[in-house]
Chain A
Amino acid sequence: MDIEAKVKQIIVNKLNVSEDKVVPEASFINDLGADSLDTVELVMEFEKEFGIQVPDEDAEKIRTVGDAINYLKQKLGQA
């Protein structure tokens, strides 16, 4: 599965939202109903699924679906 599809899958599962809402410009908090702890858990899920560490200062910048996809692509050297 490519990074984008996997990221979307994780978001759908974690936030219990339908797939069509998970578009790059969707903000976790404003559009997908997440609260501050959901975003923490979401980043933890990325860390687990992709086997990486996301420092807090990076985590704070991941606010939208697109942010997450871009960050992970970069981190995994596939940008």
Chain B
Amino acid sequence: MGQRRATITAVGHYVPEKVLTNFDLEKMVDTSDEWIRTRTGIRERRILEKGATSDLAVEAIKRLFENSGVAPDEIEVLIVATVTPDMFFPSTAAVIQEKLGLKKAWGFDLSAACSGFIYALITGAQFIESGNYKKVLVVGADKMSSIVDYTDRNTCVLFGDAAGAVLLEPTDDPEYGIIDHVFYMDGSGGKYLYMPGGGSLNPPSHETVDKKMHYIYQDGRAVFKVAVVGMADVSAEIVERNGLTGKDIDWLVPHQANLRIITATAERMGLDLSKVMINIDRYGNTTAATIPLCLSEYWECGKLKPGHMVVMSAFGAGYTWGAVLMRWSLPNPPKPRPDVARYCEEMDSRRFEMVEELKIKNEVGK
């Protein structure tokens, strides 16, 4: 008997309706569309005006149910990766359970910032591989706008709100599912990207509010240097240690923090950019949501197909970073939902426009 593996058997995502463009930001802080686009690849991001992270997650999971026909009371475990929980406790998982009536589920939140989704995915996969559970829901959701200082141009241009969800189930077919992961953590990086206030170290007070300690602090340059190397190295490592090369990879699904980090990772893996999922232009960095948001959009558009070899990789606060290798098994929808037709059509053209604009010449692998 082959080893029991976990595979993704349903996906869904949600982005709020309100769009905040670079031009809107020009009116709020001293910045420019040109600066933001050339440094990061971001053109616009979504903002949740009313509601919390759980509301983003609930919409993403509802879509997963619509896409798959799975019922709420079939879910056994719910893991929510987020750095913007509705509140410290109860967990966002508990809030979501109540809102969706996931009667049979138990669950918890997982905090690993931008690596949150891949950490949660592998954590969820363990429950399947152990043989103890058959349906584990893994969500990445963040309302970053709740911890962004919209007077700080260093950070406010980067982040957005979104959620993505995947369902894990066992598969006996050794060809498919989650094959391997490589994870790292280096706590010495904590000081370069963090939110100082609100926890037990600096509990909320007039002072923490006055000192803006409830917002993201980031040393962008320091993070950029380690993220470029970290994400590229771990992505290359997982490919090599499975006896594969860039040619065997159908999709790189990188955390969407900065287009320049993404292209550097692709280059290091010898991957053409046509094999890299990119939607940072429309959503910015949505922290735990970036990877499931990509998976869901590309799957709904029929671009991510059964049999595809996929590498997901992320780098984030902690520092935490890592990569997951899987072979996709979920058949595509017979035809794209009408509400996604527009972004499906634009997907390729927008991406190449973006890459062209940054004058990034991806000579590798040709």
**Beta-carbon contacts under 8 Å, B32-76 to A:** 38-39
Note all chain A residues with C-beta closer than 8 A to B260: 37, 41
Is the contact region of chain A dominated by helix, strand, or loop, or is it mixed? helix
Instruction: Tell yes or no: A35 within 8 A of B by CB.
Output: yes
A-B contact count (CB 8 A): 20
Quick check: A36 and B39 within 8 Å, CB to CB? yes
How far does the Cβ of A16 sit from chain B's closest Cβ, in whole Å? 6
User: Whole-angstrom distance between the alpha carbons of A35 and B224 in the complex?
Assistant: 14
User: Whole-angstrom distance between the alpha carbons of A56 and B221 in the complex?
Assistant: 10
Quick check: A37 and B224 within 8 Å, CB to CB? yes
How far does the Cβ of B30 sit from chain A's closest Cβ, in whole Å? 15
User: Whole-angstrom distance between the alpha carbons of A37 and B358 in the complex?
Assistant: 12
Note all chain B residues with C-beta closer than 8 A to A36: 39, 221
**Beta-carbon contacts under 8 Å, A15-55 to B:** 16, 35-37, 40-41, 44
Note all chain A residues with C-beta closer than 8 A to B39: 35-37
- Chain B: CB-nearest residue to A35: B38
User: Whole-angstrom distance between the alpha carbons of A33 and B170 in the complex?
Assistant: 52
Note all chain B residues with C-beta closer than 8 A to A35: 38-39
User: Whole-angstrom distance between the alpha carbons of A37 and B221 in the complex?
Assistant: 8
Quick check: B38 and A44 within 8 Å, CB to CB? no
Instruction: Tell yes or no: B361 within 8 A of A by CB.
Output: yes
Quick check: A44 and B359 within 8 Å, CB to CB? no
Instruction: Tell yes or no: B156 within 8 A of A by CB.
Output: no
Note all chain B residues with C-beta closer than 8 A to A44: 225, 228-229
Quick check: B225 and A40 within 8 Å, CB to CB? yes
Interface range on chain A (Cβ under 8 Å from partner): under 10
Quick check: B359 and A40 within 8 Å, CB to CB? no
Quick check: B38 and A40 within 8 Å, CB to CB? no
- Chain B: CB-nearest residue to A39: B221
Quick check: A16 and B359 within 8 Å, CB to CB? yes
User: Whole-angstrom distance between the alpha carbons of A37 and B258 in the complex?
Assistant: 11
User: Whole-angstrom distance between the alpha carbons of A44 and B228 in the complex?
Assistant: 10
Note all chain B residues with C-beta closer than 8 A to A56: 221-222
Note all chain B residues with C-beta closer than 8 A to A41: 228, 260, 264
Quick check: B229 and A16 within 8 Å, CB to CB? no
**Beta-carbon contacts under 8 Å, B206-237 to A:** 221-222, 224-225, 228-229
Quick check: B225 and A16 within 8 Å, CB to CB? no
Quick check: B228 and A16 within 8 Å, CB to CB? no
What are 20 A-B pairs with beta-carbon distances under 8 A?
A16-B359, A16-B361, A35-B38, A35-B39, A36-B39, A36-B221, A37-B39, A37-B224, A37-B260, A40-B221, A40-B224, A40-B225, A41-B228, A41-B260, A41-B264, A44-B225, A44-B228, A44-B229, A56-B221, A56-B222
Q: Which 9 A/B pairs are nearest by Cβ-Cβ distance?
A: A37-B260, A37-B39, A40-B221, A40-B224, A35-B38, A44-B225, A40-B225, A16-B361, A37-B224
Residues of A at under 8 Å CB distance from B? Answer: 16, 35-37, 40-41, 44, 56
Given contacts A36-B39, A37-B39, A41-B228, 8 further A-B contacts (CB under 8 A): A16-B359, A35-B38, A35-B39, A36-B221, A40-B224, A40-B225, A44-B229, A56-B222
